[in-house]
Chain A
Amino acid sequence: MADKQNRRTFLRVAGSTGAVGLAGLAGCSGGGGNGDGESTDSGGSTDGGESTDGGTTGSADSGMDTITLGGSMSLTGDNADLGQLYKDAYELTIQRINDNGGVEAGDGNTYELEMILRDDGTDASTSKSIYQELIDRENVDYLLGPYSSTVTLPASAVAAQNQKPMVEGGGASPEIFAQGNEWIFGLLPTANKYAKSYIDMCLAQDETPESIAILAEDGTFSQSTAEGARNKIEQTDLELVVDQTFPSGTSDLSTNLGRVRDAGADVLLLCAHQKHNIILANQMESQGVNVDAAMGTVGSLNESFKNEVGANGDYIYGPSSWAVNADFEDPVYGATGDFVSAIEENYDYTPDYHSAAGEAVIMTFVDAFENVSEVTPTAVRDHIRQAEFSTVYGTVSFDDTGVINKNMLVYQWQPDPGLQITYPENVAQSDPIYPMPDWSER
């Protein structure tokens, strides 16, 4: 009976859709389908070749020319939570720029900005074709980088191949910048720097720590962070007592935290993303892990992290390339504080360094557009290389490999004032609460 129903439905569907085109070739069980299916595509492909001169400067309805920025972001998949931060920052910044009358470019024209953002699903196999599509079909000349190192790698190769500048605020693996690629610019300090300031901070305390434990997720970025930390530790007197890698899919850290507790490590470093930071905060309590300091590398400073873990998140450290209370000048928002309140107003959360880096990605292009005499990918790339300008994110300038000159600040969740910069001393808001109190004393 059910079988009959199926057949009836299929006939109805087949009838109403009238998929006649497919029908002819589909019948060829002998293998003729190949030729037909293929030719439809090659028909459309002729315009693939003429993309270069079309450029991204077209006329909008308002009579203003437009420049299109294009990119992909992790809007689904493992890193969808962080991807959203970039998307919001991009959108808001572009909207502000257009509301203020657009970009007055160095070639004398005023341009409106437009953005095309695709979703790569946090999947490194999708980014190549997404960026090629943006370049060939949407005629995008200026590329916004994706989030996460694995997705960025194939995308950066496409940028170099097509000679389009790509500015990214989300791929921090040093590998990306070690390929001699002259078309990619990164706004995050590379991953190997993430733990450096934290270790320096711990060593600067009165009760100097003697041992450290590293727990690292098995992803490109987290592994680079751990590797950077190991190199740093070698230059100090710290003893590495636990060094464990765990699969991203594994959610329970009890056994590894038990190791940390039993090894009596003074300092704990978790190289992982937000979901593991939540587990760290909760299980440190339940496993009775009393270290002097604990830091999670990514997603431990977001407000959403603190909301989820409550008081268990107190005293946890996190690195940031940006201070939310800093006061940098910015041509669009005015200053850092205005950016923070704009994001809070529009999206209902406090921005973190991902958001600010997202803003700076857009501003890097805007700065270049304003300062080149001719808006072309090469001129823009050449300008970005030697540019130095101020955004809400801070002063932006790139070194020879294309990475921003920046070090990480260290933040700590303190019970009373909340999130505080604790290192380096010249910008610190409070002294770190070090060692953090034992769980029994909270």
Chain B
Amino acid sequence: MSTSESEDSTGLLRTVLPPNQVDRVFDFCGENGWKLLALGAVVGALPPLLGLEQGYYMTVVSEMYLFAILALSWDLVGGQTGYPSFGNMAFFGLGAYVTAILVKDFAVAFPVALIAAGLLALLFAALIGAVVLRLRGHYFAIATLGVLLAAQQISRNLDITGGASGKILLQVPSGTVFYYLFFGVLIAEMALIYYLSNTRFGFILNAIRDDEEKATAMGFNTTYYKTAAWMLAALFTGVAGGTYSLFNTFIDPQTAYNGAWNVELIAMALLGGSGTVAGPVIGAFGLHTLIEFVETAFVGWQLVLLGGAVIVTVIGFPEGVVGTLREYASEMAYYERGGMAAVDSGEDTEVTADE
């Protein structure tokens, strides 16, 4: 119906941003991944040195790093391995509580508590993984949701967790410490996942996602690999949770095992582009910025706008930012090979690009 209109706009887009340029950027990024990551690490480390002080902006940027860690961890299992988890926040909550309890009740040093949090989350993931990783698809999603909700209820009923009243932690390091902690964990995680995605390990994870039976038939011990990915995700999520408990100065069952966050971080991974390293990070930065903006600018309507934004993005960009751009870029490659002329309606080329 609006073919001509879409022609015009895509035509305009092509002029402003030719697909082959995007393609070149992809190539460039592919070849220089490590350099770019190093550059990102340097640039990200600068702001506090250049005068960014503790306060709102530092909190928001720290929270962006936090969500990037969470989204990336989710994506390791959800996007790379194809196991859609609804329970990642269980590791987060566990890490948060372990840190809070150790620091507050046992006077353990913060770094030690943080390591303990990560390790316990890892251990917990190994135990839970043995049970839930036997399930697939919707069933896995629900089982992990069950883990999250059960963990939340249990921490609400125990004395050591402070019950429903939670834990108050007012003796905390400065915001800069948290900034670098979140940032450091994020860079480490990005580097690790980037490294893994080019190894046999990453390849097998993707093989499990694409067809687990086939992967098993090829002789891979899929249980081992997916459990390892799951534990790795739990480690980073647990450390992030441990950092968050002191960062927020207060945790209670609702904050630590935040189901809404679990949906948010999935949205971040998907909107950025799951199955990639940059996608979840971009999604986390973008969506968190949007949330901060909507919360301050449209009080009383922020959920309506946020809901609307999520719906529109999901319907409009089902592949996420990275996936969409990749598709766009490969479309040009198709033209260059002398495929259908550019005057042709976009329809066919799009389909072809997809195949």
Whether, in the assembled complex, A223 has its beta carbon less than 8 Å from a beta carbon of chain B, the answer is: yes
- Whether the Cβ atoms of A219 and B164 lie closer than 8 Å is yes
Contact of B17 among A23, A130, A219 (CB under 8 A): A23
Contact of A37 among B6, B156, B282, B292 (CB under 8 A): B282
Whether, in the assembled complex, A212 has its beta carbon less than 8 Å from a beta carbon of chain B, the answer is: no
Whether, in the assembled complex, B223 has its beta carbon less than 8 Å from a beta carbon of chain A, the answer is: no
Whether, in the assembled complex, B315 has its beta carbon less than 8 Å from a beta carbon of chain A, the answer is: yes
- Whether the Cβ atoms of B282 and A31 lie closer than 8 Å is no
Given A18-B13, A49-B53, A150-B166, CB of A42 within 8 Å of CB of B33: no
- Whether the Cβ atoms of B60 and A29 lie closer than 8 Å is no
**B295: which A residues are within 8 A, CB to CB?**
118-119, 126, 130
Whether, in the assembled complex, A30 has its beta carbon less than 8 Å from a beta carbon of chain B, the answer is: yes
- Whether the Cβ atoms of B29 and A27 lie closer than 8 Å is yes
Contact of B156 among A15, A45, A224, A247 (CB under 8 A): A247
Whether, in the assembled complex, A157 has its beta carbon less than 8 Å from a beta carbon of chain B, the answer is: yes
Whether, in the assembled complex, B22 has its beta carbon less than 8 Å from a beta carbon of chain A, the answer is: yes
Given A118-B296, A125-B248, CB of A132 within 8 Å of CB of B168: no
Q: Mark B290-308, 1 if CB is under 8 A from A, else 0.
A: 0010011001101100000
> How distant is B64 from chain A, measured CB to nearest CB, in Å?
7
- Whether the Cβ atoms of A27 and B22 lie closer than 8 Å is yes
Whether, in the assembled complex, A6 has its beta carbon less than 8 Å from a beta carbon of chain B, the answer is: yes
- Whether the Cβ atoms of B51 and A18 lie closer than 8 Å is no
Chain B: residues with Cβ within 8 Å of the partner, total of 102
**CB interface residues, B 57-87, toward A, < 8 Å:** 57-61, 63-64, 68
Measured in the bound complex, the distance between the Cα atoms of B258 and A31 in whole Å is 28
**A427: which B residues are within 8 A, CB to CB?**
none
> How distant is B190 from chain A, measured CB to nearest CB, in Å?
5
**A222: which B residues are within 8 A, CB to CB?**
164
**B22: which A residues are within 8 A, CB to CB?**
23, 27
Contact of B299 among A8, A10, A118, A223 (CB under 8 A): A118
Measured in the bound complex, the distance between the Cα atoms of B202 and A427 in whole Å is 74
Measured in the bound complex, the distance between the Cα atoms of B295 and A75 in whole Å is 12
> How distant is A155 from chain B, measured CB to nearest CB, in Å?
9
- Interface SS of A by simple majority: helix
Contact of A8 among B25, B61, B285, B350 (CB under 8 A): B350
Q: Looking at the complex, which of B98-106, B114-122, B316-324 is the stretch in contact with chain A?
A: B316-324
Q: Identify the interface centre among A6, A12, A126: most chain B CB within 10 Å of its CB.
A: A12
> How distant is A20 from chain B, measured CB to nearest CB, in Å?
5
**B289: which A residues are within 8 A, CB to CB?**
41
Whether, in the assembled complex, B199 has its beta carbon less than 8 Å from a beta carbon of chain A, the answer is: no
- Whether the Cβ atoms of B194 and A26 lie closer than 8 Å is no
Whether, in the assembled complex, B46 has its beta carbon less than 8 Å from a beta carbon of chain A, the answer is: yes
> How distant is B274 from chain A, measured CB to nearest CB, in Å?
11
Q: Looking at the complex, which of B36-44, B138-146, B210-218, B231-239 is the stretch in contact with chain A?
A: B36-44
**CB interface residues, B 178-195, toward A, < 8 Å:** 186-187, 190-191, 194
Whether, in the assembled complex, B347 has its beta carbon less than 8 Å from a beta carbon of chain A, the answer is: yes
Given A29-B322, A32-B29, CB of A4 within 8 Å of CB of B46: no
- Whether the Cβ atoms of A175 and B51 lie closer than 8 Å is no
Given A8-B350, A29-B278, CB of A41 within 8 Å of CB of B32: no
Q: Looking at the complex, which of B123-131, B249-257, B336-344 is the stretch in contact with chain A?
A: B249-257
Whether, in the assembled complex, B16 has its beta carbon less than 8 Å from a beta carbon of chain A, the answer is: yes
**A61: which B residues are within 8 A, CB to CB?**
none
Measured in the bound complex, the distance between the Cα atoms of B51 and A9 in whole Å is 43
Given A29-B29, A157-B250, CB of A137 within 8 Å of CB of B255: no
- Whether the Cβ atoms of B26 and A27 lie closer than 8 Å is yes
Measured in the bound complex, the distance between the Cα atoms of B281 and A247 in whole Å is 36
Whether, in the assembled complex, B219 has its beta carbon less than 8 Å from a beta carbon of chain A, the answer is: no
**Which of under 10, 10 to 19, 20 to 34, or 35 or more describes the interface residues of A?**
35 or more
- Whether the Cβ atoms of A15 and B252 lie closer than 8 Å is no
- Whether the Cβ atoms of B165 and A173 lie closer than 8 Å is yes
With CB as the reference atom, state the residue of chain B lying closest to A132.
Answer: B56
- Whether the Cβ atoms of B347 and A30 lie closer than 8 Å is no
- Whether the Cβ atoms of A29 and B56 lie closer than 8 Å is no
Whether, in the assembled complex, A417 has its beta carbon less than 8 Å from a beta carbon of chain B, the answer is: no
**B12: which A residues are within 8 A, CB to CB?**
15, 18
Whether, in the assembled complex, A34 has its beta carbon less than 8 Å from a beta carbon of chain B, the answer is: yes
Whether, in the assembled complex, B52 has its beta carbon less than 8 Å from a beta carbon of chain A, the answer is: yes
**A23: which B residues are within 8 A, CB to CB?**
17, 22, 25, 325
- Whether the Cβ atoms of B168 and A179 lie closer than 8 Å is yes
Given A31-B40, A32-B36, A51-B55, CB of A11 within 8 Å of CB of B282: no
> How distant is A115 from chain B, measured CB to nearest CB, in Å?
11
- Whether the Cβ atoms of A8 and B6 lie closer than 8 Å is yes
- Whether the Cβ atoms of A223 and B163 lie closer than 8 Å is yes
Q: Mark B253-297, 1 if CB is under 8 A from A, else 0.
A: 011001011000000000011001111011001100100100110
Measured in the bound complex, the distance between the Cα atoms of B22 and A4 in whole Å is 22
- Whether the Cβ atoms of A26 and B321 lie closer than 8 Å is yes
Whether, in the assembled complex, B137 has its beta carbon less than 8 Å from a beta carbon of chain A, the answer is: no
Q: Identify the interface centre among A44, A161, A224: most chain B CB within 10 Å of its CB.
A: A161
Q: Mark A87-105, 1 if CB is under 8 A from B, else 0.
A: 0000000000000000000
**CB interface residues, A 1-53, toward B, < 8 Å:** 3-4, 6-16, 18, 20, 22-39, 41-42, 44-46, 48-49, 51
With A34-B37, A130-B295, A157-B250 known, 14 other A-B pairs at CB within 8 A are A7-B354, A10-B324, A15-B8, A18-B16, A27-B322, A27-B329, A31-B36, A35-B44, A41-B60, A49-B51, A179-B168, A218-B157, A220-B165, A247-B156
A–B Cβ pairs within 8 angstroms, 5 of them: A32-B32, A35-B43, A49-B52, A136-B56, A179-B168
**Chain A residues with a Cβ under 8 A of chain B:** 3-4, 6-16, 18, 20, 22-39, 41-42, 44-46, 48-49, 51, 75-76, 117-119, 121, 123-126, 128-130, 132-133, 135-137, 150, 153-154, 157, 161-162, 173, 175, 179, 181, 218-220, 222-224, 245, 247
**Chain B residues with a Cβ under 8 A of chain A:** 2, 5-6, 8-13, 16-17, 22, 25-26, 29-30, 32-34, 36-37, 39-44, 46-47, 50-61, 63-64, 68, 153, 156-157, 163-166, 168, 170, 186-187, 190-191, 194, 248-252, 254-255, 258, 260-261, 272-273, 276-279, 281-282, 285-286, 289, 292, 295-296, 299-300, 302-303, 315-318, 321-322, 324-326, 328-329, 346-347, 350-351, 354
List the 8 shortest-distance A-B pairs measured between CB atoms, nearest first.
A30-B33, A32-B36, A15-B9, A35-B40, A28-B29, A34-B40, A45-B57, A136-B56
